[in-house]
A and B are shown apart, each in its own frame.
Chain A
């Protein structure tokens, strides 16, 4: 079974600064998807960024980028130029790519990010 670990429960960043959120995972599969989701206090979970394991290039979405280290099974999220609206809970998630596997997401425990004005 796959597991996702987010060991930092909370982080804080100054507005306009850069912050990195860590995530490690464990799997025996060679191809899979990794995601970062954002959950603001209103609870609507929103996809931030997605990475396919077979792609060596790190995914980037505007101010959000990942550092994907497949051998180390590490998948960190970097938020540049942090904004007050980035304050939320962030979840790292894994999805199998195996044919016939269901498409469920396996989530980590999440990290609460606060942004200081």
Chain B
């Protein structure tokens, strides 16, 4: 069964450093997403991406964040200058809107980002 994959599974970085989190969405999916979950809190939407551009972003997704689909398979989230409060589990998801009209999104296993 096709699945969303994410690398690395765990990333440790120092405050102020840039990190890139990588995702390979399900191959025939058209919409791509990033969510994050700070320990003990809700899963929160960050950004959605369709047709090579951001379609929606949350207040969390400020100028320090960017997304890119550099080729036909990868989808990346970049944090330019990490802060302690960026420490969280980051989930990539993908979907095929309209298929079954159920809006289901399929999530990867996540990348645990630890900023020290």
- Interaction A to B: no
